[in-house]
């Protein structure tokens, strides 16, 4: 099972080395890959166990202009249907992953995108334009049981 990590500073600048150390501590959860994104006071990272989209599913994943970034752990059951709808609305995908589907759904609907997701998941989306971090998990907490109050998402702003 993959692992995600990160932190958000309302004042100050995040450091890559800190999120890297956080991900090193969960390396056992994702031996196949690691990735990081640091911007202003936000740092997100992940360790990946490759299951879907083995070749192009590296995370964090960014949108086309690299203003929105996501780290994700889990599975979105209906992501193919959501992806098809987003493509019909003009979104362009670089991968076949459910992760990128969440990213484009967020671009389309903002935090309300969460209500469309069915599956077991936890994710963090950094929106550099709005300087906000969206944290969410599935309704039952399958992927993030310690975040019990996160059923609809939690939005942090700088």
Please identify every residue annotated as catalytic. 2
Residue 31's Cβ-side half-sphere holds a number of Cα atoms within 13 Å equal to 1
Matching residue, tokens 């450091």: 15
Q: Which residues contact 71 (CB under 8 A, 6 or more apart)?
A: 4, 6, 35, 37, 44, 45, 46, 59, 60, 123, 124
Distance CA(68)–CA(91), nearest Å, equals 14
């Amino acid at each position: 099972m993959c692992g995600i990590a990160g932190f958000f500073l309302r004042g100050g600048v995040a450091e890559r080395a800190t999120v890297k150390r956080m991900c090193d501590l969960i390396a056992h959860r994702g031996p196949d890959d690691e990735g990081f994104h640091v911007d202003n006071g936000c740092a997100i990272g992940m360790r990946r166990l490759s299951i879907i989209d083995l070749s192009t599913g590296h995370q964090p994943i960014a949108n086309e202009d690299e203003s929105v970034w996501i780290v994700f752990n889990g599975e979105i059951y209906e992501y193919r249907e959501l992806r098809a709808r987003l493509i019909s609305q003009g979104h362009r995908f670089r991968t076949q992953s459910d992760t990128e589907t969440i990213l484009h759904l967020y671009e389309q609907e903002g935090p309300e995108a969460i209500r469309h997701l069915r599956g077991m998941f936890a994710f963090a989306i950094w929106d550099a334009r709005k300087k906000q971090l969206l944290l969410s998990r599935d309704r039952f907490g399958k992927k993030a049981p310690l975040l019990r109050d996160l059923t609809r998402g939690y939005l942090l702003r700088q």
